[in-house]
Structure 1
């Protein structure tokens, strides 16, 4: 039912449709709140309420949709905090899963649409762009709460969604830190947390997500150094724009990096200079002690012991006479020859 001019609220009678797998009412004029009975539809695979005029809070009952693979509540007027109960999403918590039931339902849906593949099955926000999905929608695992008025912290239970491929919480009023365990979302391909009020440092665990192909953390209050030696430095600088406290590649260097030598060679040269300086200090100290104990040890003895002083100078006289005699004898023999 997406892309019409439907108005009013979601009909209460839908609570009886226990076998309902897909609700797609994107791009209408629906109002009211998300009904709490939505949590009774345990077979739900896709819930797409995007682009309506819905308001109020996101009910915690939505976490009872244990088989959900696509949850899109973007571009509405939802407020309050995001419920912290996403660890109930058993399908999204598994890294790899083949949902045969999803394949069967998708096949029937495509058949009912007369094979008009040019219109697409549904559209979602993907890596900052509007994308239409057809057969490959079965592989998509997406949560999109963007463009609302949500507040509070990012729920820690998001870190349990090891099979989630795209998470978009942008354009809200979220505060606090990026959850430290976000790196547990091992197959995440797109992460958009831009245009919020998030603060603190970028968690180092985010760099462990090797599949991450799209990242937007711009327009927040993040600070600190972008983790070095990681793929986070390979993203364009626009992914980190308008975070006054952030620094490091691909942004300008941090103040500490500017003052600190940047190359290993310079560190090696400094270590070598330090070693030479330390050696010279040791030599100087040794010479000082040698002078004190050697020179003054002898001279001091002569000053305090008169008998030693007399004996020493007598010895010098004897040695001098011996050398004189030896030289005279040597010169006499040399002249005879």
Structure 2
């Protein structure tokens, strides 16, 4: 047993705590205890396994905070998801500088995303922190993780805007066809990477094809501001989910540059404007959800958009028209013209009503002033009398002049 390299007891019904006797297996490279009924805290002795490459304790009833770690020098896979871990991430986790994948999703971890992620975990390719209680902003230091291919921060309490520097993630700019984990000879053949991700609206468990997944999921947070245009430069990104936030502004016009995009979910935000025509060039797009925004104008119908026949993809946008919605664009245009005419009529009506009210108020104010001070009334009536007499004289002279002209023409 001392020379054992792989210990995989996952998918059983083991209970109790993790035994200390495991540390006797000094050559252990992979420890898999996932999907059991283990409880208690994660022991702080596991770093004694200096040959450990993979630690998978997911899917148990483990609780408490993640203990301070002194990382085994070769650890590249740490999976602690689907437990009841709480508290903040220990800063000692920055010592795991060989990590390629960190999965702590589906726990009760709070605090903020550490800035040192982008300073110490530079090898990180897959970061999954979904369904926790993490708050604060998305740190710009994450943009330094140039090899990052999966970033799942969904279902948290994140605020602020989406960092525009995410568009500089090199791991999402180029399509890769090689396996993501290092070549450990015999060990590489007995290890199957595994991660649960939401794609096309459903949770999927990825194993052998995990290395082909390129994903950013920031859904179900409280992010605001506009979608940064820089993110359209991630030409290798396969799934982008920004739904259920407070995003506003327009969909970036250059969204059509993301030619590898298969899943795009921007639903339940406050996005406005029209759907960019450039999106019709994303021929790989198979799942689209733009519902419950403030989008307007006609829905594109060419290329891949012709396959989106489910109205739920676009519902909740009162100003959108065209198939698959029942709102016809020609009718919508006539409705807009009628609304413009109604608005102009209301403006004219308000003007005349305002002028009438103003005249009445001015008349009453003047009349009241004249009644209060008789000297003003005398001067006013005298002025009106003289003005009336002069007006009558001018009119008579004008009429006399006209009669003279007509007589001359007749003669």
- Structure 2 length normalisation: TM-score? 0.58
Q: What's the CA shift string for 1:69-89, capped at 9, x where partnerless? A: 100000000011111002321
Identify which of 228, 235, 242 aligns with 2:316: 242
Higher relative contact order (CA 8 A, sep 6+): 1
CA separation of 1:257 and 1:152: change in aligned 2, threshold 3 A: closer
Find the counterpart in structure 2 of residue 20 from structure 1. 99
- The correspondence of residues 264-279 of structure 1 with structure 2, limited to 5 A, is none
Residue 307 of structure 2 is aligned to residue 254 of structure 1? no
How many residue pairs get aligned? The number is: 251
Contact kept in structure 2, 1:78 and 1:148, CA below 8 Å = yes
Aligned twin of 1:54:
134
**1:160 alignment partner in structure 2:** 233
Structure 1: any 5+ residue segments left out of the alignment? Answer: 260-337
1:4 aligns with 2:78: no
Question: Please, which runs of 5 or more residues in structure 2 have no aligned partner?
Answer: 1-79, 335-411
Any conservation in 2 of the 1:44–1:67 contact (CA below 8 Å)?
yes
Q: Paired residue for 1:43? A: 123
Match of residue 74, structure 1, among 145, 154, 157: 154
Separation of aligned partners in 2, 1:134 and 1:161: 24
For the 8 Å contact 1:234–1:250, the answer to whether it is kept is no
Partner of 1:141: 214
Q: Give the deviation of 1:42 after TM superposition.
A: 1.3
**Runs of 4+, deviation exceeding 6 Å:** none
Matched-pair contact (CA < 8 Å) for 2:113–2:139? yes
Cα separation, 1, equivalents of 2:167 and 2:138: 16
1:224 counterpart residue number: 297
Q: 1:102 aligns with which of 155, 162, 181?
A: 181
Looking at structure 2, the residues matched to 173 and 136 of structure 1 have their Cα atoms a distance apart, in angstroms, of 33
1:130 corresponds to 2:203: yes
C-alpha deviation, 1:101, in angstroms: 4.2
2:179, 2:211 within 8 Å by CA — same for their partners in 1?
no
1:219-248 deviation line (CA, Å, top 9, x unaligned): 000001112333223211110000001001
Alpha-carbon offset, residue 37 of structure 1: 0.2
Query: So what's the TM-score if we normalise by structure 1?
Result: 0.71
Structure 2 distance, partners of 1:253, 1:161, is 35
Residue 92 of structure 1 aligns with which residue? 172
Root-mean-square deviation (Å)? 2.0
Alignment partner, residue 279 of structure 1: none
The Cα shift of 1:257 comes to 8.0
| Structure (1/2) with the larger helix percentage | 1
Greater C-alpha radius of gyration: 1
